[in-house]
Amino acid sequence: MNHGEHGVHGGQTQGGLGFAKSPKARGSPTRKVRALPAIKIRCLLPSVLSVSSGGGRFPFEDKMLRRLSFLFCGLMVCACIQAQLPADEPLRGWKTVEGQAFEAAIVSFDGTTVTFRVRNGQRSPLPLARLSPDDQMYLDEWQKKQPLKIVLPDVVGGDPASLQPEVLSEDERNEKFVYRTGHFEFESQGKFTQSLLREVARNFEATYELLKALPWGIEPAPASGEYFRARLLRTRSVYEAEGGPKNSGGVYLGREKVFLVPFESIGLKTVGKSYAKDDDFDTSTLVHELTHQMMHFWLNYLPQWVVEGTAEYTGILPLKTGRFRVSAAKTGLRDYLEHLQRAGGVPAPYPLEELFPMTNEKWNEILTSNRTMSHRLYFTSYLLVYYFMHLDGDGDGQLFVRYFRAVGAVRKEVEEYDKAVDEFKKQPGVEVLPDGRYRGPGGLKHPDRPAILKSETAPDEFQRKTLQILLNGRTEAELTKQIRAAYAKLGIRL
Ligand SMILES: [Zn+2]
């Protein structure tokens, strides 16, 4: 399993950077370095958010369509933040929603329930909603200041119960071989040997477990149906015909909820009538695309640098025999940089002042037109995610986890709103029009629209606001300086 190869696919014919052969790549001495850094492109997603718009007789039927990409975050409360109590929280005066006053110190607050310690030392829990609005606000602010206790997993592998791959069908004539593991159903254009099937299965399942275990709050679930779906394609031409972009090593198609990877990106060879691992077998492309798939319900809420940076991050983590060594992330970083060095040089970081506000349109334009710039974008995205995970502040990923929680809170709010709208549409008298809009009788209470969906500018505002969590009072220039200094400490000059 090689991660030094990350970001490389087999498009030898496309030349370009003239990557040197690597005589001694890690893990596999005979491994060939393939010629072209992959630009792993996630296709632009059509909205995974349903369109709920209206136009008609009632005030809730306004014409605002759901917008893709960045959504606004009004409230940074998250039910899942378990703030840790610093040494001695002082006694303070509080008021209940009915105006009853009492004195107590905060012991803990999980976003919905606060545990107090009163003067005699006794502890007592109280739902947040029972407190006065001012005190609720105070708790929100208090919670934001508390350090989160973040525990990174050490080693993550697939659950043994999910690992036994099942052969669903093998149709030689139509080149259709279907396999299934605990969470995945994947189709291959070639028959897999037992050992290849086992290897692919354990990498799939390990990536699923990894995204569950990382502190980003992803909770991966198939976008539709019971299984995550993948298609492994025998040739590059089939891959491109099925929607794989040129220059890419793999793609996650958000609309179809499936990811496609050509055999050449993994490194397979034929053994008789079957396919097996070749010397340059490399699952980093699989892990990258799988990461997009696990994050399906988040993609519209995250800027491209986070989407690609997280997928690069997982793809570069050391992975061996179906187990990620998260605690050895630094080894992955070093191997990756070494690989880049051998392959023609480490790209120059992209200026953060331009990267942070970059629109998806601009990002995709660069991908299709400028390979050098594309490498810089992907590389910088990775550097940023690694930095926020391991080097910023105390090196425990505080701000990055807070960032994900803030995004997650809004994501959840929209999800709940969507559910409420679906329920609303089922009520008697509500008419769903052919274009998806709907109208209902007056007096019927429409679900409250989340702030993020209330205006055209809300998504951009959301992006700016969540970015502030990461900047944490720093300008882009100051952050750049700190990033360079942190990597320099590891002996990495950027
Ligand atoms: Zn990608």
pLDDT tens for 81-95 read 334 444 568 889 999
CA 138 to centroid of ligand 1, rounded, Å = 40
CA 455 to centroid of ligand 1, rounded, Å = 29
Q: Identify the top-confidence range among 36-40, 74-78, 150-154, 217-221.
A: 217-221
Could you tell me the pTM of the whole model? Answer: 0.76
* Residue pLDDT, tens place only, 389-445: 999 999 999 999 999 999 999 999 999 999 998 888 888 888 888 887 777 777 778
User: Cα–Cα distance between 414 and 485 in angstroms, integer?
Assistant: 39
CA 302 to centroid of ligand 1, rounded, Å = 13
Q: Which of 45-54, 84-93, 120-129, 240-249 has the lowest mean pLDDT?
A: 45-54
CA 305 to centroid of ligand 1, rounded, Å = 10
CA 374 to centroid of ligand 1, rounded, Å = 12
Question: Taking 50 as the threshold, does the pLDDT of residue 99 lie above it?
Answer: yes
Which fold would CATH assign to domain 92-145?
SH3 type barrels. (2.30.30)
Mean pLDDT within 137-154: 86
CA 257 to centroid of ligand 1, rounded, Å = 14
Pairing of strands 191-192, 251-253: unpaired
CA 472 to centroid of ligand 1, rounded, Å = 27
Mean pLDDT within 247-275: 91
Pairing of strands 113-117, 258-262: unpaired
* Residue pLDDT, tens place only, 313-327: 999 999 999 999 999
Assess contact for 17 and 272: CB atoms under 8 A. no
CA 32 to centroid of ligand 1, rounded, Å = 23
CA 365 to centroid of ligand 1, rounded, Å = 15
CA 334 to centroid of ligand 1, rounded, Å = 21
SS3 sequence of the chain: CCCCCCCEECCHHHCCCCCCCCCCCCCCCCCCCCCEECCCEECCCCCCCCCCCCCCCCCCCCCCCCCCCCCCCCCCCCCCCCECCCCCCCCEEEEECCCCEEEEEEEEECCCEEEEECCCCCEEEEEHHHECHHHHHHHHHHHHHCCECCCCCCEEECCHHHHCCEEEEEECCCCEEEEECCCEEEEECCEECHHHHHHHHHHHHHHHHHHHHCCCCCCCCCCCCCCEEEEEECCHHHHHHCCCCCCCCCEEECCCCEEEEEHHHHCEEEECCEEEECCCCCCHHHHHHHHHHHCHHHHHHCCHHHHHHHHHHHHHCCEECCEEEHHHHHHHHHHHHHHHHHCCCCCCCCCHHHHCCCCHHHHHHHHHHCHHHHHHHHHHHHHHHHHHHHHCCCCCCHHHHHHHHHHHHHHHHHHHHHHHHHHHHCCCCCEECCCCCEECCCCCCCCCCCHHHCCCCHHHHHHHHHHHHHHCCCCHHHHHHHHHHHHHHCCCCC
- The structural domains of the chain, with segments of one domain joined by +, span 1-81+148-494, 92-145
Q: Identify the top-confidence range among 19-33, 444-458, 465-479.
A: 465-479
Query: First and final CA of the chain: distance in angstroms?
Result: 27
Q: What are 49's two structure tokens?
A: 């958010």
